[in-house]
Each structure stands twice: as structure tokens, then as C-alpha cells.
């Protein structure tokens, strides 16, 4: 009987796997719920403006916060005549213009359970920056019958709690609004209840039943952004950078933007459907007012409408008419209101304010910012060795080789297939000898096999997520029958982290790093290919309440494991597919299972830009597309664009043809090699930008409007982007393109990277494009550090000399920065780094220390020198320079813009000044 049972299980799993893989060919919309099939979304969308019955009462200052009760004008819920209990409201003010609003049920009325509040996302430093309110003032707003409460937020800004009707808004001292909540009266908070006899709370979808033991518990409210031309954010969706209206007159697409982490094969572009990650952060920008932001810390499913102009034409609600605004509707299945208002007023201010709450991006190891080569799957050790040697044979640098699920023993993670990978340590050490690294995949589903030590231990310790009946949840994924560690529990996260030690992860070495996939979590036979909402976690928390954060906790535990492995001295590298606010502190993410299509190449830009706006700067898309076989032209264009992604990795599905760069003919190999060389030359610049992100939250890859917030032509441009403040990149997204239209923002000239030719800003240029590159420009007035010698890997470039590319503006001035540390340890956090500032002015280039001075700092130095200084836009004249303090001369002569390209144009170059990068010095043009 046991064999028969096993046979039946294998048949079932085979059918599930076939179903899952056949969905690759076409995304099946009906496998996932839409708003009309999601009761809380349908209910929220049906509410009319002004329907909120709540008013504010019992306002006071308590423990430095403004506290109040929200009570209903109606004594009973009109739907079921149940009493409407008061809600507790708390407003706290934090440094740098951050307002926090919390609304929850009143515990004194003894609700059936405690509503879930997401832990371990807000960084402790933020809580320490609370401003203790001492007093509040009162003011009558408009024609209200009574006063409202006003508190200080930031110099020039105030927060207002309107009493009747209930509303919260932030305004400038002069009275102009910035952000508001419940201005349209759409607020609704479904309170937990005890089930009455005969009530049916169950929800059913495609054969799955959600028991919903605590009944409806959704929350919805409207948020308005004033002085806004566009809104952005709320990843992850494969759609435009500027969010399009989803409801209102003339809106064709009627689905809201969904935030619900799902394993979506071959997702559609230009769709509001949610995919692998969720960050409930929206940022508005407009010429009239600048930038503001709103963040709702909630891990349950969320749906968000961007309401089109005229959506409320019949509401009769009078809002300030002297300000343009964009209204939005936020809906969530569960949780509490824990919301943050960011006043800006600039784009970088909002990102800084948001990352002050959830943390700035982790500083990556240097190697991780270089090129990664991945495939599902490199077959065996011989395949790995051959791929590695081919990169050397074709003189193509790379830093990381990746192994997907087939390297394991029967999809048991932390193991190796001993036939295909009999000597894993030796394999890794051979790569490490060239300065290269390896990444292996570790997913959250653990194979339910009594002979598998990990499963046996997790079962004995009770570490798995439970189903609604309290048994270990059993779902199907790559290994077949699987269970999932309950990563909400800190004890289980610590246990998981220990599994990455060299002792526990047999066959691993210090040069091995980790890839977390399928951590939405993906469950092939679950509702919507994920875990049931009524599954149970630590503390009795339902999966519906924390779903979007499951992958975040898994990512966190894995990154902690790599830190533990290195005794707290070595930075981790972990790539995750699922993400949530705070994921930026733990590693990189990518945009998931894209397709080898031109439209997927194009949509990668707004997807990565949106991630950067919402804190996650270390991100990229699979170069070449995960599914399908790209034509050589598409693959080349993807390498040319991907070279500027913050995370640069090629990846492909196992059913696709092999596509390493040397497999498409000599010419295409040269083109892909050149694209990779562009990335390696710019690694010093990228690493400097990663440090900027680590300290300020400002992303590496930026929308044009982040650098040019007053230039309206940039506000909805999502085919071009900035890398830092100095480089502008325009993708080529069509087949056999001969021209590309490139808008160069106003204020400065721009130097074409290929030729050094200057182009005027403030206009659109029709650029001729060839197969050799995509349009990229250096902004006048900037200095970019490069390394122009190419090695097998980035780690072998450590001692190579620098090139400084100075792009002079109309006043013959420029400035730039360079950040250097040891590229791998946490010593930089103790001050062991170099931060140099370069300024060219009055014919003189100076290098000075940009690091803050502090006693007791760790020391770091470098013997690297500056080998060449390129002067773009230099007015011909003097031919030599004087160097101090060395008291030496260096000649200015025509030299190649790039050393690697025999046809490189010539530009004015200061040759071999040989000044140390770590020193203060001055070079005067004579």
C-alpha cells in the first residue's frame, strides 16, 4: 500500500509541476483574484465619498504624542446593528519632517484577538528621533462648527487633526496643504467580532476555502497629494514609472494596483497586477509644490486606486480649490493603520525621510556590484569549469557564477548532488583563486523527507508554519511535499541563520553566497500559488496578516546567517525575489521571471527606478529575459542597458538555449564584452554611489526628475534614467533602431560618452544609434572616476590606477567624489575608508578629504594613483600642468577617451600625473 500511496503522490506532483511549468507559456489571469473577487476590495470601492461617520474626541498630549479617540456619530453599524467601538488614534512627530499616525482598536473593549503590527521593520534609530510634543493649539478649519488640533511638525510645517469630520493633514505654515488622509471621507475600519450563529465568514476561490475565523477586518481610507502632477511608487508592478489612474471617468483599466507577493510566471507588462514584492510607499511630485510621500506599514494584501480627475464629481465635498491634487484610495485586508507622512520638499528629502524609518540600503561587497553569470542550471562541475574558462578565453570579466536548484541532492537545500558536484569546495576555491565567487540557491520550502536532517529537526522543534487546524502546513513546491519555516519567530530566524555556518552547510566555503527564490512564498497547489491566508504563524498570527513580509523575514534570516558565518566581520550578499519595506538592509532583489521581449527590456527601467524610489537601490532585471530565446540584437541591447543596472546579472530558464556571450558569433561577442567592460570601468563610480545610498537612501539609479525636479519634461520620462547625478542613460527598446530620441535636461551641456562631443540641455536630440552602444551622457560640471584596465574579476582590479573624467561646464568648472574601502568587511562603519572630493575651478584640480573627521577612527589607505585625467570641454591653450605638493610637471596632450577601444576618439588628457588617490593634492593648468 505504501508503494501505491507513493506512486499516487508522485503522479499528483507531476501533474502540479506540469501545470506550473505550462503556465510559463501564458500567464493565466483567472488563476488570481481580481478586485471583484476580493470582498474587502469590492466593499471599499463601493463606498461613497463622505460616508465615514467618525469624529474626533478626547484629544490630549500623552507621553509626547497627540492621542485621541475616533467615535462614530452612528451608535450602531447599519449593516448588522453591532455597536461601533471607539478607535484609538496616536500622532507622533519625528525629526526631519516625518509624521506617524497609528489607529487601532481600543483594547479596553476586549477585541477577540490583537491585530497584527509588523515587527522588525522600523529601525531603532528612528524611534530615538521622536520629538516630544509639549502642547497643541486649536484652530477652526473652514466652516467647521468646532476647533481642530494643530501640532508642530517641522520649521514651516504643521500637522492638523480635524475633529468633525475626522481628517488628518499636513500643511505649510502659510496654510497650503501637502498631504491629507480622509479628506474624501472614505475611511473605514472593520472591527474584529465574535462570530454569531449562522454567520458565514468563509471565502472561496478556485476550490480553496479560507475559513476567516475572525471575520472581515479590512481597513480603507483615502490619501490626497497636493500640488502633485504625478504619483510614483508602490512596487512591484510591471508598469510605467508615473502611476496611471485606475478609477474615474475615462479610465479603461479598472483594476487597482495590487500589493500581494505572488509567484507570477512571465508577468504582463503594463499591468497593475502585483507580483513578487510589496512596498506600500507612494511619492508625489509636481512643479508647484515639490515632492511628498506616504507609507503604510502593513503586511496584509493591499489594493490601491489612483483616482482620476473627476472621480468625485458628484460627492459634494469641497476641498481646497487653489491647489491641484491627486487622490488615492488605500485598501487592506487586515492589520492596523501605521502610516507615515513625508513632507519633502525635494525628491531626495522624501527618500531620506522614508529610509530614516526603514533603514538605508546595506553597503554591498565590491564584487557584488560587478557582473554575475547565472542559468537554471549549470549542469555539473565540468560545466562550471568550462564556462569559467571561456570567460577568460574571450577576455570577458565576470565576478560571480550562480547555481540554481539542480545543484542540490533532490531539491534538499544546503546539500549537493554528489554525482554532478562531487567536489564543491574545490570548485569554489578554483573560482576564488581568480577573485571570483559562487552563489547557490536556498529556497524556503523544506522537503518533507524523514531522512533529511533539516526537515527532521524543524519538525521536532515545531518550527514550521501551521495550517488552520494547527498541523504543520504541507504544500507543494520544487521538492514535492514541503513545509515552510515560520520566519516571523526570531528564534526560528536565528536557527535558520546557523545553517549557513561552514560546519552546517557542508561543501560551502567563505566565497559562497546565497540566493533566496520562491519566498513570496510560492506554493504550487496553494490558493493563487501561495500559502492559505488562514495558515498560522508565531503568536497566533494569521498568514493573511503578514503575507507580504514572509519573504522579508526569510531574506533577513539568510543575511544574518552569512554575517554569523563571517563572525560579524564580512558583509553578506543575498539576492531575494520577494521583498518588503526594510529589505534594502539585507541585500539585493531582482524583478523576477521576465521574458525575452523588447517590451520587457523597456519595462525593466521603470521597475528598477520605482524600487529605488522606495528604498531598494540594489536591484536589476534578468539580462536577456528569463523565459524565451532572445534574438542576438535584443540580447546585445539588454547587456548594454543592464551594464547600468545597479544589479547586473544574466539569467535564463533551463528550457532556453544556452546564451553565454560567446555563443552568438564574433561580432555579438565583442558587443556584449564591450558592454561588460563599460560596467567594469565604471565600478569605482558605482561603488561611490552605493555608499551614497548607504548613508542617505538616495538610489544609485534615479528618475530624471530626481536630479531635475523643476524640469517638467522629465516627470513622466521612464525610458531614460540617471546613474547618480553625473550619467544619463537612454535605452534602445526597438528592433533595428537607427535613431533614438533623447531628452537632455536643461541647465547644462551633456557629453556623449562614446565621443566626448557636447550636446545642449533642455531639448530632445534625435541621436543616430549603432549596434555598438546605447546613448549615454556625462553631465557637464561633473567628475567621474574610472578604472580602465581590465582583469578577470573586479577583485583583481583593486590596485589598478584611476582615470578621472572631468566634464567641464560653461564656466570651466566640475566636481565629483570617490569612495573606497576594503570592499568586503564592516570596518568602513568604524571609519576605515577613503572619501575624496575633486574640484576643478580656475584652471586648478584639487583633491581633498570629504570624510568627516572623528577621533579613534579606523584607518584605511590605498597606494593607487591617478594615471590619466581626461578634460572634456577643455578650451585649448596651455599644454602642461604643475602638481603640488610634489612640485612636478605633467603634460596635456591628445589621448584616447578609452584605452580598450582601438578606434577611440582623442581628447585632452593629463598623462601620468601619478598622484596618490589617498592624498591631498593640486594640479594647476599652466
Write out the DSSP string of 212-240. Answer: -TT----EEEEEEEET-SEEEE----SS-
Q: What counts of helices (H) and strands (E) characterise the chain?
A: 15, 52
Q: If you average pLDDT over every residue of the chain, what do you get?
A: 94
Question: How many angstroms separate the Cα of 663 from the Cα of each of 28, 628, 771?
Answer: 33, 16, 17
Neighbours of 236 (CB within 10 A): 31
CA–CA distance, 500 with 486 (Å, rounded to integer): 17
Give 411-432 pLDDT, tens digit per residue: 999 999 999 999 999 999 999 9
Give 245-304 pLDDT, tens digit per residue: 999 998 976 899 999 999 998 888 889 999 999 999 999 999 999 999 999 999 999 999
Would residue 620 count as lying in a domain?
no
Going by pLDDT thresholds of 50, 70 and 90, the confidence category of residue 461 is very high
Most distant CA pair in the chain, distance: 93
How many domains is the chain partitioned into structurally? 2
Q: State the pairing for strand pair 188-189/290-296.
A: unpaired
CA–CA distance, 172 with 158 (Å, rounded to integer): 6
Q: Are 869 and 893 in contact (CB under 8 A)?
A: no
Look up the CATH number of the domain holding residue 845. Answer: 2.60.40.1180
CA–CA distance, 451 with 55 (Å, rounded to integer): 60
Q: 328, 358, 388 — which closes off a domain?
A: 358
Would residue 240 count as lying in a domain?
yes
Average pLDDT over residues 590-619: 98
Question: Which pLDDT value is given to residue 253?
Answer: 67
Question: Which pLDDT value is given to residue 175?
Answer: 87
Whether 876 shows a pLDDT value over 80: the answer reads: no
Question: Which pLDDT value is given to residue 879?
Answer: 85
Question: Which pLDDT value is given to residue 856?
Answer: 65
Q: State the pairing for strand pair 371-373/648-650.
A: parallel
Would residue 238 count as lying in a domain?
yes
Give 121-173 pLDDT, tens digit per residue: 999 999 999 999 999 999 999 889 999 999 999 999 999 999 999 999 999 99
Question: Which pLDDT value is given to residue 326?
Answer: 97
Cell of 610: 520605482
Nearest 5°: the CA angle 307, 308, 310 is 110
Q: State the pairing for strand pair 281-286/230-233.
A: antiparallel
Cell of 268: 504582463
Going by pLDDT thresholds of 50, 70 and 90, the confidence category of residue 902 is low
Residues 6+ apart with CB under 8 A from 628: 595, 596, 597, 653, 656
Question: Which pLDDT value is given to residue 547?
Answer: 98
Give 324-353 pLDDT, tens digit per residue: 899 999 999 999 999 999 999 999 999 999
Query: DSSP 3-state assignment of 512?
Result: strand
Half-sphere exposure in the Cβ direction for 222 (13 Å, CA): 24
Average pLDDT over residues 846-857: 85
CA–CA distance, 52 with 646 (Å, rounded to integer): 44
Q: Are 602 and 630 in contact (CB under 8 A)?
A: no
Query: DSSP 3-state assignment of 752?
Result: strand
Question: How many angstroms separate the Cα of 235 from the Cα of each of 241, 303, 518, 827?
Answer: 10, 12, 18, 33
Question: Which pLDDT value is given to residue 498?
Answer: 98
Give 700-709 pLDDT, tens digit per residue: 999 999 999 9
Q: Give the neighbor-by-neighbor strand order of the sheet with 776-779.
A: 701-702, 720-723, 727-730, 776-779, 750-752, 758-759
Question: Which pLDDT value is given to residue 899?
Answer: 84
**Catalytic annotation, pick one of 312, 388, 517, 821:** 517
CA–CA distance, 153 with 170 (Å, rounded to integer): 8
DSSP-assigned letter for residue 797? G
Cα-based torsion angle of the residue sequence 571, 577, 582, 584 in order, rounded to the nearest 10 degrees: 40
Nearest 5°: the CA angle 478, 378, 386 is 170
Q: Are 93 and 134 in contact (CB under 8 A)?
A: no
Look up the CATH number of the domain holding residue 182. Answer: 2.60.40.1760
Among the listed residues 894, 919, 923, the one whose alpha carbon sits nearest the alpha carbon of residue 906: 894
CA–CA distance, 478 with 605 (Å, rounded to integer): 31
Q: Is the peptide bond before 885 cis (omega within 30 degrees of 0)?
A: yes
Q: Which region among 248-257, 540-549, 675-684 has the lowest average model confidence (pLDDT)?
A: 248-257
**Catalytic annotation, pick one of 222, 327, 520, 711:** 520
Residues 6+ apart with CB under 8 A from 877: none
DSSP-assigned letter for residue 570? B
Would residue 469 count as lying in a domain?
no
Q: 325, 358, 391 — which closes off a domain?
A: 358
Question: Which pLDDT value is given to residue 313?
Answer: 78
Alpha helical stretches, state H, 549-597: 550-565
Question: Which pLDDT value is given to residue 1?
Answer: 39
Phi, psi for 704 (deg, rounded to 5): -55, -40
Q: How much is the pTM? A: 0.96
Instruction: Tell me, yes or no, if 517 is annotated catalytic.
Output: yes
Residues 6+ apart with CB under 8 A from 291: 283, 284, 285, 344, 345, 346, 347, 349, 350, 709
Q: State the pairing for strand pair 130-131/87-94.
A: antiparallel
Question: Which pLDDT value is given to residue 580?
Answer: 98
User: What element of type H or E holds 479?
Assistant: none
Question: Which pLDDT value is given to residue 252?
Answer: 77
The boundaries of the domain holding residue 111 are 47-358
Q: Are 269 and 240 in contact (CB under 8 A)?
A: no
Cell of 214: 475572525
783 strand-pairing partners? 806
Question: Which pLDDT value is given to residue 75?
Answer: 65
**Catalytic annotation, pick one of 188, 210, 266, 593:** 593
Would residue 311 count as lying in a domain?
yes
Which residue bears the cell 471621507? 185
Would residue 33 count as lying in a domain?
no
Average pLDDT over residues 452-460: 98
Q: 324, 358, 392 — which closes off a domain?
A: 358
Going by pLDDT thresholds of 50, 70 and 90, the confidence category of residue 82 is low
Residue predicted with more confidence, 291 or 902: 291
Among the listed residues 924, 922, 848, the one whose alpha carbon sits nearest the alpha carbon of residue 892: 924
Going by pLDDT thresholds of 50, 70 and 90, the confidence category of residue 900 is confident
Would residue 714 count as lying in a domain?
no
Would residue 861 count as lying in a domain?
yes
Amino acid at each position: 500500500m505504501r508503494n501505491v500511496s507513493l506512486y499516487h503522490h508522485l503522479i499528483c506532483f507531476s501533474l502540479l509541476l506540469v501545470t506550473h511549468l505550462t503556465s510559463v507559456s501564458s500567464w493565466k489571469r483567472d488563476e488570481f483574484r481580481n478586485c471583484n473577487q476580493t470582498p474587502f476590495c469590492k466593499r471599499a470601492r463601493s463606498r461613497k465619498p463622505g460616508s465615514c461617520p467618525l469624529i474626533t474626541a478626547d484629544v490630549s498630549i500623552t507621553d509626547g504624542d497627540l492621542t485621541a479617540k475616533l467615535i462614530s456619530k452612528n451608535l450602531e453599524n447599519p449593516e448588522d446593528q453591532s455597536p461601533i467601538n471607539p478607535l484609538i488614534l496616536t500622532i507622533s512627530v519625528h525629526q526631519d519632517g516625518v509624521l506617524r499616525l497609528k489607529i487601532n482598536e481600543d483594547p479596553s473593549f476586549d477585541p477577540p484577538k490583537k491585530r497584527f503590527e509588523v515587527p522588525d521593520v522600523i529601525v531603532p534609530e528612528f524611534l530615538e528621533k521622536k520629538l516630544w510634543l509639549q502642547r497643541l493649539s486649536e484652530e477652526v478649519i473652514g466652516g467647521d462648527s468646532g476647533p481642530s488640533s494643530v501640532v508642530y511638525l517641522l520649521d514651516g510645517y504643521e500637522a492638523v487633526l480635524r475633529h468633525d469630520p475626522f481628517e488628518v493633514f499636513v500643511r505649510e505654515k502659510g496654510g497650503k496643504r501637502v498631504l491629507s488622509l480622509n479628506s474624501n471621507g472614505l475611511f473605514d475600519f472593520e472591527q474584529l467580532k465574535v462570530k454569531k450563529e449562522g454567520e458565514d465568514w468563509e471565502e472561496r476561490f478556485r476550490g480553496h476555502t479560507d475559513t476567516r475565523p475572525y471575520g472581515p477586518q479590512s481597513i480603507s481610507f483615502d490619501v490626497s497629494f497636493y500640488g502633485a502632477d504625478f504619483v510614483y511608487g508602490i512596487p512591484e508592478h510591471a508598469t510605467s514609472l508615473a502611476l496611471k489612474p485606475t478609477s474615474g471617468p475615462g479610465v479603461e483599466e479598472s483594476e487597482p494596483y495590487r500589493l500581494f507577493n505572488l509567484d507570477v510566471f512571465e508577468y504582463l507588462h503594463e499591468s497593475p497586477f502585483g507580483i513578487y514584492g510589496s512596498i506600500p510607499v507612494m511619492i508625489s511630485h509636481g512643479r508647484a509644490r515639490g515632492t511628498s510621500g506616504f507609507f503604510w506599514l502593513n503586511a496584509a494584501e493591499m489594493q490601491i486606486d489612483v483616482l482620476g480627475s473627476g472621480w468625485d464629481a458628484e460627492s459634494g465635498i469641497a476641498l481646497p480649490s487653489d491647489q491641484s491634487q491627486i487622490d488615492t484610495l488605500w485598501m487592506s485586508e487586515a492589520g492596523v493603520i501605521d502610516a507615515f507622512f513625508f513632507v519633502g520638499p525635494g525628491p531626495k528629502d522624501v527618500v531620506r525621510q522614508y529610509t530614516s524609518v526603514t533603514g538605508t540600503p546595506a553597503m554591498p561587497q565590491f564584487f557584488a556590484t560587478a557582473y554575475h553569470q547565472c542559468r537554471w542550471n549549470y549542469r555539473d562541475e565540468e560545466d562550471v569549469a568550462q564556462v569559467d574558462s571561456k570567460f577568460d578565453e574571450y577576455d570577458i570579466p565576470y565576478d560571480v557564477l550562480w547555481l540554481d536548484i539542480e545543484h542540490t541532492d533532490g531539491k534538499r537545500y544546503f546539500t549537493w548532488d554528489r554525482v554532478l558536484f562531487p567536489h564543491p569546495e574545490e570548485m569554489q576555491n578554483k573560482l576564488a583563486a581568480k577573485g571570483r565567487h559562487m552563489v547557490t540557491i536556498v529556497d524556503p520550502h523544506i522537503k518533507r523527507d524523514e531522512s533529511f536532517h533539516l526537515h527532521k529537526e524543524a519538525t521536532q522543534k515545531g518550527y514550521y508554519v501551521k495550517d488552520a487546524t494547527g498541523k504543520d502546513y504541507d504544500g507543494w513546491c520544487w521538492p514535492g511535499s514541503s513545509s515552510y519555516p515560520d520566519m516571523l519567530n526570531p528564534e526560528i530566524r536565528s536557527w535558520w541563520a546557523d545553517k549557513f555556518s561552514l560546519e552546517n552547510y557542508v561543501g560551502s566555503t567563505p566565497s559562497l553566497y546565497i540566493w533566496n527564490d520562491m519566498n513570496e512564498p510560492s506554493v504550487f497547489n496553494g490558493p493563487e500559488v501561495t500559502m492559505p491566508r488562514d495558515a498560522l504563524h508565531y503568536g497566533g498570527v494569521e498568514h493573511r496578516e503578514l503575507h507580504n513580509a514572509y519573504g522579508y523575514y526569510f531574506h533577513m534570516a539568510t543575511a544574518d546567517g552569512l554575517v554569523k558565518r563571517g563572525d560579524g566581520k564580512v558583509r553578506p550578499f543575498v539576492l531575494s525575489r520577494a521583498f518588503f519595506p526594510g529589505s534594502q538592509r539585507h541585500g539585493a532583489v531582482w524583478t523576477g521571471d521576465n521574458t525575452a521581449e523588447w517590451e520587457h527590456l523597456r519595462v525593466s527601467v521603470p521597475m528598477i527606478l520605482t524600487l529605488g524610489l522606495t528604498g531598494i537601490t540594489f536591484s536589476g532585471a534578468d539580462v536577456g529575459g528569463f523565459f524565451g530565446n532572445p534574438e542576438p540584437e535584443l540580447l546585445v541591447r539588454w547587456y548594454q542597458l543592464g551594464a547600468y543596472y545597479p544589479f547586473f546579472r544574466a539569467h535564463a530558464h533551463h528550457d532556453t538555449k544556452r546564451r553565454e556571450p560567446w555563443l552568438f558569433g564574433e561580432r555579438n561577442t565583442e558587443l556584449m564584452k564591450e558592454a561588460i567592460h563599460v560596467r567594469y570601468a565604471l565600478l569605482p563610480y558605482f561603488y561611490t554611489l552605493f555608499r551614497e545610498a548607504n548613508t542617505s537612501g538616495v538610489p544609485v539609479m534615479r528618475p530624471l526628475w530626481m536630479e531635475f525636479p523643476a524640469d517638467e519634461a522629465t516627470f513622466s520620462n521612464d525610458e531614460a534614467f540617471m546613474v547618480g547625478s553625473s550619467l544619463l542613460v537612454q535605452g534602445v527598446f526597438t528592433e533595428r533602431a537607427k535613431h533614438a530620441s533623447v531628452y537632455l535636461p536643461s541647465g547644462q551641456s551633456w557629453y556623449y560618452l562614446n565621443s566626448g562631443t557636447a550636446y545642449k540641455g533642455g531639448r530632445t536630440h534625435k541621436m543616430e544609434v549603432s549596434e555598438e552602444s546605447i546613448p549615454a551622457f556625462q553631465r557637464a560640471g561633473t567628475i567621474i572616476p574610472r578604472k580602465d584596465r581590465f582583469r578577470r574579476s573586479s577583485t583583481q582590479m583593486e590596485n589598478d590606477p584611476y582615470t578621472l573624467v572631468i566634464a567641464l561646464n560653461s564656466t570651466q568648472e566640475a566636481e565629483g567624489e570617490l569612495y573606497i574601502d576594503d570592499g568586503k568587511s564592516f570596518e568602513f562603519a568604524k571609519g576605515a575608508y577613503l572619501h575624496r572630493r575633486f574640484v576643478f575651478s580656475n584652471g586648478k584640480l584639487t583633491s581633498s578629504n570629504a570624510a568627516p573627521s572623528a577621533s579613534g577612527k579606523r584607518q584605511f589607505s590605498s597606494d593607487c594613483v591617478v594615471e590619466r585625467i581626461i578634460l572634456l570641454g577643455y578650451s585649448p591653450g596651455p599644454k602642461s600642468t604643475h602638481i603640488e605638493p610634489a612640485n612636478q610637471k605633467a603634460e596635456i596632450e591628445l589621448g584616447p577617451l578609452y584605452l580598450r577601444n582601438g578606434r577611440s576618439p582623442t581628447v585632452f588628457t593629463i598623462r601620468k600625473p601619478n598622484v596618490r588617490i589617498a592624498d591631498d593634492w593640486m594640479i594647476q593648468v599652466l
